[in-house]
Amino acid sequence: MTFPVNTISLNDGTSIPQVGLGTYRLEDDDAYRVVSDAFVAGYRHIDTARIYQNEAGIGRAIRESGIPRDDLYITTKLWNGDQPKARDAISSSLDRLGLEHVDLYLIHWPAPQRGTYVDAWKQLEVLQEDGLTTSIGVSNFEPEHLDAIAAVSDIVPVLNQVELHPLFQQKALRAEHAKRGIATEAWGPLCHGSVDLAAEMPTLVNLAERYSKSIAQVILRWHIQHGTIIFPKTSSKERLVENIALFDFELNAADMGEIDGFDAGRRLGTAPADGNWD
């Protein structure tokens, strides 16, 4: 059984499936297995990165799926140390994926200490012109980083992929995205897997029971109704199905407001200014 997924329109005239599969910390063989299972469940949007070291496994799953390339949405990312050589980096990613182009290429972190992300953005523009990626965007960028890009470029990132979940809702940044025409994509949409959701937000148990859904589905549906693009990660077939079965129910306004009230400004991952690994 496959599940339908909404799409979100992007500022360059393209669209992206609102639900995808995250592959962080999946090694090649596991990535192959999980992505293959995801395709069977109806996923068509896969998020990876050079630093995840699983592009080859994902590429194998793509090749063996039999799914037409135009039906897939593949994202990968430019790593910090590769910012001065974006063309070499994307070419290597495409070789591992076995693709002629990706649908979305992101600057993974601004890594502002390096002073190279603005030039990297200009390189991404050329990669887009040359057809190596359909769309270009950023990840973990704050408004000052978006400002620095805007000062040298008229091309606005199609989206910014950031940490976003009920405990860290990034309301000011989401408003900034809306003002600039940038879509918001959430990594760690279920609190990065490091939080006991029922213990931290016990009223979610009642919400899940009321909608006959899991707590995870309630949270993911909250993201969906806020217009956020999500790509929860799992290696379980059961969870793969659960995480995409989000379009047969709707949270009412009061329940949306209740989850909105969980915001604690609590970042669970790395702050953008600190994401400066080699």
Q: Which residues are catalytic?
A: 52
CB of 102 closer than 8 Å to CB of 90: yes
**Edge-to-edge strand list for the sheet holding 102-107:** 21-22, 45-47, 73-78, 102-107, 133-139, 159-163, 183-187, 229-230
Residue 19 per-residue DSSP state: B
d(CA 86, CA 208): 44
Tell how strand 15-17 and strand 7-9 pair up: antiparallel
- Say if residues 267 and 168 touch (Cβ distance below 8 Å): yes
And the tokens for 69?
């390339």
Q: Rounded distance, CA 171 to CA 164, Å?
A: 9
